Structure 1
Amino acid sequence: MTSLRTDGLTKAFGGVRAVDGATVELLDGRINGLIGPNGSGKTTFFNIVTGMIRPDAGRVLYRDRDITRQPPHRIAHAGIGRTFQLCRVFPRLTVLENMLVAVRRTGLRELLAGLRDRGEVERARHWLRRMGIEHLEDAEARDLSYGQQKLLELAAVLMAEPDLVLLDEPAGGVNPALIDRITGLVRDLNAEGRTFLVVEHNMDMVMGMCDHVIVFDRGAPIAEGPPSVVREDPRVLEAYLGV
């Protein structure tokens, strides 16, 4: 069963096609991986799917609904969440405030004045406990380590209860112990019903965690399938591993 599908997705910057006619299907309820060499179009693909940039051609379908040119907030409300390659948090807000801003129904001024929905506070604390950073709720985000900020960003994304979560290099810049924790969290969340698409350069993480792997080269998929099949594909060895 397909969760998200793109048909002929294309985006050019100047004369360069960053994404070139990409047709992709994500398996619903699975951990999907997206790999490829630098410049192969992975992050541009993410940005199109989540409404950060508009494609020149093609469509994005989420559960058979066309979301191609909808703004990011509507795509988020449809059930798609994402993290970024460079972690995005509000550095001068506390950890708890970062969580509440992600789903705030009142203005930031009201939030900072202490007007908080009790249910949302409890939900925020639930996700902070899941990440193992509940003891940091009163710390300013800028005082967290980079790895802790990564966990905070993921927790904030989960505040919106997305069905599909896109992770852009979750292992980037973090230590092996945290990579193991993130891998465990993704597996647990997937077992609870969430679908994932993970862009990652850490091949051991991708091959060990993902059920289905899609390989991009020059803006389009060149191979896909279970990790055991993809890792032996000659096209992947040539494009990604340089063999």
Structure 2
Amino acid sequence: MSGLEITGLSKSFGGVCALDDVSVAFPHGKINALIGPNGSGKTTFFNCVTGMIRADSGRITYRGQDLTGRPPHRIARAGIGRSFQLCRVFPRMTVLDNLLCAVQPRTLRAKAGRSHSRAETERARHWLTRMGIDHLERAEAQNLSWGQQKLLELAGVLMSEPETILLDEPAGGVNPALIDRICALVSELNAEGRTFLVVEHNMDLVMSLSHHIVVFDRGWPIAEGPPSAIRSDEKVLGAYLGV
């Protein structure tokens, strides 16, 4: 079943084409990966899908909803969350308060007073426990390691209970122990019903974790399929190795 479907997506910057009439679909309920050499358009694709930048043309559909041109907050409400290549946390706030900031206030009183319910605080602590960083809830985010900040950012994404999560290089700059932890979490959350789309350069992680892989080169998908097919695809080898 297709969850996220892209048709004819294009984006240029000053005459440089980052995405060239991209049409691709990512199965719902799976761990999908988007890979490709540097400059192949992966992050631009993420930014267009999540409304961070507006595509020049094309259509974005998620589970039957047309999200084309919608702003980021409306795309998030449709059930899509994302992380960033460089962690976006509030460095001088506590770990717990970082998660509570991710909660959208639902009443005028909450908006005015920035108060949080007991249920919201319990939910934040639940995700900190799932990430394995609950012992750090009173620490300032700037005092966490890079890998711990990645876990904190993922917990913040999960506070909005998205059905689909886009992860931009979750293993980048992270030590091996925490990479294993991130992989285990993604697998657990997928087993619980969440769909993932992961941009990642760590090919061991991609091949071991993903069910479905799409490969970009120069703003265009050149291959897609299960890891077993991608490993031996001549176009993929050529894009990465120049062979």
How high is the TM-score relative to the length of structure 1? Answer: 0.96
C-alpha deviations, 1:134-153, integer Å up to 9, x for none? 01111111111111100000
Measured in 1, the distance between the counterparts of 2:99 and 2:120 equals: 9
RMSD: 1.0
Code of the aligned partner of 1:51: G
C-alpha deviations, 1:173-216, integer Å up to 9, x for none? 00111111100000000000000000000000000100000000
Code of the aligned partner of 2:184: G
2:166 aligned residue: 166
The equivalences for 1:184-203 within 5 A come to 184-203=184-203
**Which residues of structure 2 form unaligned runs of 5+?**
none
Could you say what secondary structure the match of 1:69 adopts? coil
Measured in 1, the distance between the counterparts of 2:53 and 2:35 equals: 20
Code of the aligned partner of 1:204: D
2:79 aligned residue: 79
2:89 aligned residue: 89
Could you say what secondary structure the match of 1:240 adopts? helix
Measured in 2, the distance between the counterparts of 1:241 and 1:28 equals: 31
Sequence identity of aligned pairs in percent? 69
Measured in 2, the distance between the counterparts of 1:154 and 1:199 equals: 14
Of 141-150 and 37-46, deviating more is 141-150
Measured in 2, the distance between the counterparts of 1:170 and 1:94 equals: 21
1:110 aligns with 2:113: yes
Measured in 2, the distance between the counterparts of 1:100 and 1:200 equals: 28
1:222 aligned residue: 222
Measured in 1, the distance between the counterparts of 2:99 and 2:241 equals: 39
1:148 aligned residue: 148
1:120 aligned residue: 120
Measured in 1, the distance between the counterparts of 2:29 and 2:186 equals: 12
Measured in 1, the distance between the counterparts of 2:18 and 2:66 equals: 22
Measured in 2, the distance between the counterparts of 1:96 and 1:104 equals: 15
Code of the aligned partner of 2:54: R
1:12 aligns with 2:12: yes
Could you say what secondary structure the match of 1:43 adopts? helix
Code of the aligned partner of 2:28: D
How high is the TM-score relative to the length of structure 2? Answer: 0.96
Code of the aligned partner of 1:125: R
1:59 aligned residue: 59
Length, aligned pairs only: 239
1:241, distance to aligned residue in structure 2 (A): 3.0
1:240, distance to aligned residue in structure 2 (A): 2.0
1:29 aligns with 2:29: yes
Measured in 2, the distance between the counterparts of 1:65 and 1:219 equals: 25
Measured in 2, the distance between the counterparts of 1:12 and 1:187 equals: 35
Measured in 1, the distance between the counterparts of 2:69 and 2:15 equals: 22
Measured in 1, the distance between the counterparts of 2:24 and 2:118 equals: 41
1:24, distance to aligned residue in structure 2 (A): 1.1
Could you say what secondary structure the match of 2:157 adopts? helix
Code of the aligned partner of 2:113: E
Measured in 2, the distance between the counterparts of 1:43 and 1:182 equals: 20
Code of the aligned partner of 1:88: R
Measured in 1, the distance between the counterparts of 2:161 and 2:199 equals: 20
